Amino acid sequence: MESRAYLQQELAEVEAWEKDQNDLWFWEKLGRLPFVWLDKITPNFVRDKLGTAVDEMAAFLETGGTYLVSDAAIYSKFAQRLEQEQSGSRQPRAEEVAGAPLVLMDEVALNLKESRATFATVQGATTGIGGIFTLAIDIPLLLGTSLKVLQEMALCYGYRPEEKRERLFVVKCLQFASSDIVGKKAILAELSRFDEPTAQKDVIAQLQGWREVVVTYTENFGWKKLFQLVPIAGILFGAYLNRSTVQDVAEAGRMLYRKRRILERLRAQETAQRD
């Protein structure tokens, strides 16, 4: 178990990252300006895909839908390192991953972040070939990749996304990654109390606001639509945007789950000291 001083130092790093999550950057602001106009000229089949994204988010929150990931692939990445501390070569259990050193959790999470960003780059370039028309394919793919990478971040830090409450945390991470500074502050305030027993009823009640997450998320495609109006040129923009989107989502998930795990370990140490 890490020392209290080490955990407090790591917590300070996460809090410094939170303070750096300022307002939307210039291109995101630019993208929101033409969104209303772009929505009017968006083909109906693209609008249908946006509606499908809303339905798929609802299914994810309720049951995990088609986006629920397997823990085996993530836990296997811990197996070799944990073998050095334990006998045998079996797949580690959930509680063993939850108790793994923070530095190991970080290592696996960072590797996953980079590999998923690379996948998103190729995906964005491929769907950018046809301009705005292939955007109908790109939207559900990018949403799916974002939800899956967030679940992988959850598993890296010992949380179980098959639990409905944990899927809410995944959606909150997605919302955080696409919010402005006011939204980010509100979400951080909510998540800081996520594991407090007295606040859990309030957290579950927030499920009613999940549609706002999808609206915010899909609005961020505004400037992507603008640049993908020109076929072929969409390859460049699609590759860059998908990569940056997945990197931002993965980093938000990594830092927010990391903070939860650090706080839980600090609380456990305080309880042990009192006992």
In this prediction the pTM is: 0.84
How much is the pLDDT for 239? 84
pLDDT at 129: 74
pLDDT in tens, 124-164: 888 777 666 676 677 778 888 999 999 999 999 999 998 88
Residue 229 is predicted with a pLDDT of 59
Tell me the C-alpha to C-alpha distance, in Å, between residue 63 and each of 82, 168, 217: 31, 11, 21
**Spatial distance between the Cα atoms of 226 and 234, rounded to a whole number of angstroms:** 10
Whole-number pLDDT of residue 184: 81
Q: Which residues of the chain have pLDDT under 50?
A: 25-27, 29-37, 87
- The pLDDT, as a whole number, for residue 220 is 57
pLDDT at residue 124, rounded to an integer: 83
| Locus of tokens 């990197």 | 247
pLDDT of residue 215: 62
Q: How far apart are CA 12 and CA 20, in angstroms?
A: 13
pLDDT at 34: 46
